[in-house]
Amino acid sequence: MRALLLLANSACTFAALRHLPLPVTTSLAMLVPLISTLLAALVLKDHVPRSKWAMVRIGFIGMLLVVRPGGSQFIWTVVYPIGSAITFACFQVVSSHLSRLDDAITTNFLTDFVATIVLSVLVWIDQTETLPAIASVRFGSWLLFGQVPDMWMAIGICVIAASGIGTVLMHGRRPTKVETIVQLIE
């Protein structure tokens, strides 16, 4: 199941990068925290604090600033990065659930092994289209592709980054007492 979700995520991401500018694709990928938070709350019955919901909303607003529904960037091909976000959020929720049931090393190895084999074959078959014709995230897109996002896109990218940083600072995993003791001993 995890391997299928990972493969679907990769397929959607490659398709998105072929048809949409890089800032639009990466911004729509920022739907992952919103979707995975919703799924964790609804499916896994995890408690989600209000502050995390606030950071998710801020990231969503940033994504809207970049994509601007109704604007020229909002075309039918946005289904690809949205599909990528949905499959990756599902992958995260399934992984979280499996981490409670099975050995993480075995689960990750099997998933990565299957995905690597299948993606290697697909990339080999489609060699001429391996590197998508992508355009435009601020410095990188200017440096690599000669295109600079407009002001709203740049503001949206900064809002998304701030939301991610805020989430990590407020809700990042803190070391347990045992991990702290081990770090002190080393």
pTM (two decimals) = 0.65
d(CA 22, CA 143): 13
d(CA 102, CA 100): 6
Q: Please report which helix (H) or strand (E) contains residue 173, including its range.
A: none
pLDDT digit string, tens, across residues 159-169: 887 887 777 77
> Which has the higher per-residue pLDDT, 5 or 112?
5
Q: What percent of the chain has pLDDT over 90?
A: 4
Residue 180: CB atoms within 10 A of its CB come to 11
Q: What is the pLDDT of residue 132?
A: 44
Q: What is the pLDDT of residue 133?
A: 41
The yes-or-no verdict on residue 53 having pLDDT over 80 is yes
d(CA 86, CA 32): 7
Q: What is the pLDDT of residue 75?
A: 78
Lowest mean pLDDT among 9-13, 28-32, 35-39, 173-177: 173-177
Write b or e for each residue in 145-167: b if 16 or more Cβ atoms lie within 10 A of its Cβ, otherwise e. Answer: eeeebeeebbebbebbeebbebb
Q: What percent of the chain has pLDDT over 70?
A: 72
Question: Mean pLDDT over residues 132-151, rounded?
Answer: 57
Could you give the dihedral angle defined by the CA atoms of residues 25, 39, 173 and 58, in that order, rounded to the nearest 10 degrees? Answer: 50
> Which has the higher per-residue pLDDT, 135 or 37?
37
d(CA 159, CA 174): 25
Q: Please report which helix (H) or strand (E) contains residue 114, including its range.
A: helix 104-125
pLDDT digit string, tens, across residues 61-114: 887 887 777 666 567 888 899 899 999 999 888 887 777 777 767 777 777 777
**Residue 148, Ramachandran bin (φ over 0: left; ψ between -120 and 50: alpha; else beta):** beta
The yes-or-no verdict on residue 135 having pLDDT over 90 is no
Domain, as residue range, for 12: 2-185
Structurally, the chain folds into a number of domains equal to: 1
